[in-house]
Chains A and B, each alone.
Chain A
Amino acid sequence: MIHHRVKPTDRNMIEDLLRPVLHTTWRFYLAVAILGGIVLTGLSTWMYQAYNGLVVTGDNWPVYWGFHETNFVFWIGISHAGTLISAILRICNATWRRPVTRCAEAITAFALMIGGIFPLIHLGRPWLAWWLLPYPSERGIWPNYRSPLAWDFFAINTYLIGSLLFLALPMIPDFAMIRDRSTGLRHKIYGLLSKGWYGTPKQWHRLEAAMHIMALAIIPVAVSVHTIVSFDFSMAVVPMWHSTIFGPYFVAGAIFSGIAALIIAMAILRKILHLEKYLEPIHFQNLGKLLFTMSMLWGYFVFNERLTTWYGNGTAEMPVFQATQSGRYAPLFWLMVFCNFVMPFPFLAIRRMRTITGTVIASCGVVVGMWLERFLIVVPSLSYKAMPYSWGHYMPRWPEVVIMSSSFAALVLLYLLFTKFVPIISLWELRVGEHSELKAAESVQAAEAAGELV
């Protein structure tokens, strides 16, 4: 890999990466105002829906699930960007990961928060959602542990807590760095956040050990979360939901859409925060390769699912199959195949096209395609259940569309606020990386860098 780059000095690096945290422009406030406005619109639409009931949505008999459930699965999928990818890269000791991990972990935390709200939004009586908690009820009623929705509740909460820890742990040394470079209220707040970090060898050792444990623990949790989300569908005897392939199919799709979201987020951060020196073409190259692998894997799963359904020729399955291949939902299905497989293929397979622009174009396609995939899993099966007399269709209405749009604005807003309070690139990890690179070259600066490190 030939790439000539001007290595930023340690001082420059700290300045570059702390700039967004320590200095705020009017553009930031404008963006927060606009995004906050959209999010508030979404929240008030939810209140409107809660007050009037689901009559304002497009849900109907027999398609009782629509956009809200699609968004739920979509966002939980996006959340697999981070923790899983960065945990795997950490365990594999892939050094190029260093500038990418925190961007990815932040997506996970925020996408999970947003995804986790959709099951509440879709409820007929959302104010009773706490009945899913196994609280000691005087009536002796517990949640039904046989229900995949109860599994969801626990899986998503476990993953959310785990990924927040995984995100928060490596922020401690960076908080300490901000603490040491700030005064007044900011100094106090970051002093609290850095939890008495002074970079002693013992502290470093403990942090490394904790990170390793979390990285190992979070992988099975992440895999199980989307498997359990897939169980919401595959446990029901509904044509083309009731499939044994759904667990891995959902996890693959989740990682796929997660990487795409990560690439888009990184490209935007690079432009807006001027991180060209840190988020380099090599990172997009490598993530592009990962995206390509997942695209192939996803294509394999879709082909597999479709082939076995067609070959099995079940009476209940075939109407759903036909509706998605050549019927009512076929345009969406083929658009999905185009967005997820055909269009990204050249951008990701050909090295010269696997540029930042190329991977971003491919990723935009994948995000759209994966949303369509979730929609095509939820809706057509319910439209064409086993009794032909009760077939029906679904069209979203404005509250669902507004709530969905505001969920995208919510992710951007949370991300924006995050970059304001935390360096989006893990400073100390980057410095450790630079340090070991230099050490390997046995350059004179190595000693200096090492001297400055702790």
Chain B
Amino acid sequence: MTDILTVHGLTKRFGGLLAVDNVSFDVPEGEVFALIGPNGAGKTTLFNCITGYYSPTFGRVTLAGKDITGLKPHQTVKAGIARTFQNIRLFDFMTVIDNVKLGYHSRMHSKLWDSLLKTPMEQREEAVTTAGAMELLRFVGLEGRADHQARNLAYGQQRRLEIARALATNPKLLLLDEPAAGFTPQEKVELMELVGMILERGVTVFLIEHDMRVVMGVSKKIVVLDHGEKIAEGNPEEVRHNPRVIEAYLGRSA
């Protein structure tokens, strides 16, 4: 099994604060990989370093053998990484379908003149994009809401829409930042079913989770972060019994 993403010696320093400290791991292709850790462990910072929102102080990030360290966010999308946000970031006043169509932005080839003159090529591409976006909405179960405004969706639907938008960029690797936050147990089960379906599309899923129980069922490999450092790595069973993990989550016993 090859590794789709390799993070090597990644460090991110904000002034005096060491948010991520020399973290290395590999994400195997075609599986669910999870990054867990208590609040403030540096999980989202690590995500932001991989997706280009922050540029790492030190270290290297490789996607399918290509060095993507320090690329801009839109360049990492083009390279094949899509992401969602911990606090859902949809385009609230755009329609559900337009949100998904935005995900196609970097895959479309219409140039300025095509858009200005509405050339047949542009119209064709627009039609293909609409059809693709509808297919993705069906995939996440939102096909009935295509013409609604994104802000009018229920919370769980907004999470699904954000995932559909990310999938529209045709990623090799999908980064989900606490996708189950605020979900009921039933919704968490449905989400994990969706994650399974995403895997079947050939997309590797890398998720951040705060709640250990959510990821234990689906992920093959887990990395645990605490205070910016990697404290454990392995399959769910190994991680669950790792004394440092137990300590990080429950505190040191007296």
Whether A associates with B in a native complex is no
